[in-house]
Amino acid sequence: MSRISIPISMISDRFGLGRFTEGANRMPLANRFSNIRPLGEFFDFKRISKPVNFAEVQSRASYNLSYFASNYAVLFVILSIYSLLTNLLLLFVIGIVVGGMWGIGKLAGRDLELGPIRATPSQLYTTLLVIAVPLGIIASPFSTVLWLIGASGVTILGHASFMDKPIENAFSEEAV
């Protein structure tokens, strides 16, 4: 099976985010999701209960956010896909931009010649920008991102707050 490699260093170096992504290149994508908890444990309705006070909410959220971190990442990806599928214009704009960048990159710096028309890569990027920006504004990416933040926040923090810790962990925190 081939290993999926994401060039995180290229993106982080460009935006000066190197200190946040230092260890990301050393770990393959498969290892990041190797500790996904089983669905039976993630949806254990017997462990759902109302917290007594805010300190218990903090304790539960702290434990569950680290324990179910990979499950929450998968949930965020699922909500991201759902938000793109419900906003087809945004998905179309993303497709145009990615396809346009890929097509211009395939030219390798040469001019595009279509019959009598000759376009430089700079002109092609400008045309792509002129087309993508108005469509991108109409597609309302900010409301989609805000919906994604809100939906994932409510879902993930709700689950983390109402899911009780396992019994063996609840007794290990108490002072003897």
> Same domain, yes or no, for 101 and 20?
no
> Same domain, yes or no, for 89 and 154?
yes
Domain that holds residue 3: 1-32
Per-residue pLDDT tens listing for the chain (176 residues): 455 555 656 555 655 555 555 555 555 666 666 777 877 777 888 888 888 888 888 888 888 888 888 888 889 999 999 999 999 999 999 999 999 888 888 888 888 878 888 888 888 889 999 999 999 999 989 999 999 999 999 999 998 888 887 776 656 665 54
Phi and psi at residue 7, in whole multiples of 5°? -75, 70
> Same domain, yes or no, for 22 and 66?
no
Compute the distance between CA of residue 28 and CA of residue 95 in angstroms, rounded to an integer: 26
> Same domain, yes or no, for 76 and 136?
yes
Compute the distance between CA of residue 141 and CA of residue 92 in angstroms, rounded to an integer: 12
Does the model's pTM come out above 0.75? no
What stretch of H or E contains 170? helix 167-172
Confirm if 90 and 139 have CB atoms less than 8 A apart: yes
> Same domain, yes or no, for 16 and 40?
no
Q: Helices in 16-166 by DSSP H: which ranges? A: 29-32, 39-42, 54-67, 69-86, 88-106, 121-138, 141-162
